[in-house]
Amino acid sequence: MERLHVLVVEDDDAIARGLAAALEREGYSVEVAPNAATALDCLRLHDVSLVILDLALPDGDGVDLCRQVRAEGCTAPIIMLTARREEADFVVGLDAGANDYIAKPFRLAELLARVRAQLRAVQGVEDPSSASSGRVEYGDISVDILARRAYVAGAELDLRPKEFDLLAVLVSHAGNALTRERIMELVWDEHWFGSTKTLDMHVSSLRKKLGPEGTRIATLRHVGYRFDP
């Protein structure tokens, strides 16, 4: 079976070599690009399954590179590495097309877990059987989006309309970080304004109804939420 190909865009040679070695031990094929120009060449020439992208590059900003590769049609998941910790920086990165972010310094085990989650999410989306039926399954959670029914361990959940909409959005973007504002637009109204406290209340209620599986809804401090597949 062909190995999944990961592109690491990082100008710090020590970090790049460490990441490449760890990813190769996980069974991935790895290519390293030390700058934006080399990264673009790699993405144009090769079929890349996932990109790990540092924001601080010697020949440009990682956010600009992210926007460019998305504009050129690249759909591979992008995980951003950043030393920036301001909420605005995370939001800008996600809006530029990144699927997830991790702040430096980071734990290698956490980054590898994020890589696995992103790749599982992509493989799940591309599964023709789940796409045609509108049914998504992760662990004991099963969501039939077309029928608007959700189950945990085979037992149907009693969800309010917005609770179901919230769950459907989260599982449809499984493995991806979603900002609070983006969730509000998708679940409530694209023209919403005001507090996002109602989102927190719905997440809390949904977690309780999901039971142990509720821990799959991860809180991203200062950003939003992510459903971990």
Q: What is the pLDDT of residue 128?
A: 35
State the Cα–Cα distance between residues 186 and 12, nearest whole angstrom.
Answer: 38
Taking CA atoms, 70 is separated from 19, 112, 114, in Å, by: 23, 23, 20
Domains of the chain: 5-124 (3.40.50.2300), 128-227 (1.10.10.10)
Structure letter (DSSP) for residue 72: T
Task: Report if pTM > 0.85.
Answer: no
pLDDT score, position 148: 87
Measured CA to CA, the distance from residue 16 to residue 122 in angstroms comes to 24
* Full pLDDT tens readout for the chain, 229 residues: 568 899 999 999 999 999 999 999 989 999 999 999 999 999 999 899 999 999 989 998 999 999 999 999 888 999 998 877 666 677 788 888 888 888 888 888 888 888 887 887 666 543 333 444 468 888 899 998 878 899 999 999 999 888 999 999 899 888 888 888 888 888 876 555 556 778 888 999 999 999 999 999 999 988 899 999 8
